[in-house]
Amino acid sequence: MTEQFATIAITGKPSDTAVVETIQRIAHHLGQKGRRILVDADIVDDDPAWQRVPHHALADSADVIISVGGDGTLLHTARLAVDHDVPILGINRGRLGFLVDVSPSRLEELDRILGGDYIEDVRDLLHAEIRRDGKVLSSAIALNDVVLYKWNTARMIDFTVYVNQELITDYRADGFIVATPTGSTAYAMASGGPIMHPSVGAMVLLPISPHTLSNRPLVIGSENEIEIEVSSDALDRVGISCDGQADLGLPPDARLTIRRHKRKVRIMHPPRYRYFDILRAKLRWGDIKLR
């Protein structure tokens, strides 16, 4: 057994009975192999075979976190793991699954990965801050994207975007997406943005349904800082979402600032993992047969 992965934390979506059953089965399987098992206290009841740990503390003493669910669950787990430099292993109990690629029925593959036979994938995150008069009012991180969106209205919103304090342009649109390469296959792709390979050090800036059709997606280096200023008459009609899970308010005279997070997320894949295989399978490329 690889001592590097002697302590395994396991989390998932608590309201999903299939996820809870999978967590219990994985915990029993790994516990029988002599590993120390930490399970999310919000999900699984007491069991003498493992230790229940509060959700927020799962990464404190773990060597790896197993995330059971879909990509959304892994996005949430990433925020737990990143500051502790703990790798994440995704078990797919979701739907599409670009990030979670281990089947819950293949426990032998799980054993191989935890035994050291795996591919490590390092992904950039975004750090979003709400600032006013030089002070940070709130902040959050995102593995996929930071989205400025409209709500409670059918009207477009007006906002201005800067890169390193240099004006890009004024937008009138339904919103704005700043996505990592990981997030380029999520909301950004659905909104007409490009797919970026995870190894590319870049961000995509993408207006959502812009009034001016020449406002196209823009790809910039990940070392840049983006600043978004929303028109004062639209502040009561906008929201800011990080990975669709953490929401930041935007009070008057405040701006949204987005830059690359100082840390990266480590994701573990089976040795069979190939990025373009995932794209072909999930996006159903090549399904049309030539006659």
> Nearest 5°: CA angle at 167, between 163 and 173?
90
Phi, psi angles (nearest 5°) of residue 119:
-110, 130
Go through the domains of the chain in sequence order and give each one's CATH number. Answer: 3-123+264-283 (3.40.50.10330), 126-260 (2.60.200.30)
Identity at 158, one-letter amino acid code: D
Both tokens assigned to 204: 């995509």
71 is catalytic: yes
Helices (H), 35-182: 71-81, 107-114
φ/ψ of residue 269, rounded to 5? -125, 155
pLDDT of residue 1: 39
Tens digit of pLDDT per residue, the chain (291 long)? 345 799 999 999 887 888 989 999 999 999 998 899 999 998 877 666 789 999 999 999 999 999 999 999 999 999 999 999 999 999 998 776 789 888 888 889 999 999 999 999 999 999 999 999 989 999 999 999 999 999 888 899 999 999 999 999 999 999 999 999 999 999 999 999 999 999 999 999 999 999 998 999 999 999 999 999 999 988 888 999 999 988 998 999 999 999 999 999 999 999 999 999 999 988 988 876 655
Report the pLDDT value the prediction gives residue 291, as an integer from 0 to 100. Answer: 54
- Tokens linked to 25: 């089965």
251: how many CB neighbours lie within 10 A of its CB?
Answer: 10
Among the options 16, 40, 63, 71, which is catalytic? 71
36-40: strand order across its sheet: 51-53, 36-40, 7-12, 64-69, 88-92, 265-269, 119-123
DSSP state of 195: P
As a residue count, the chain comes to 291
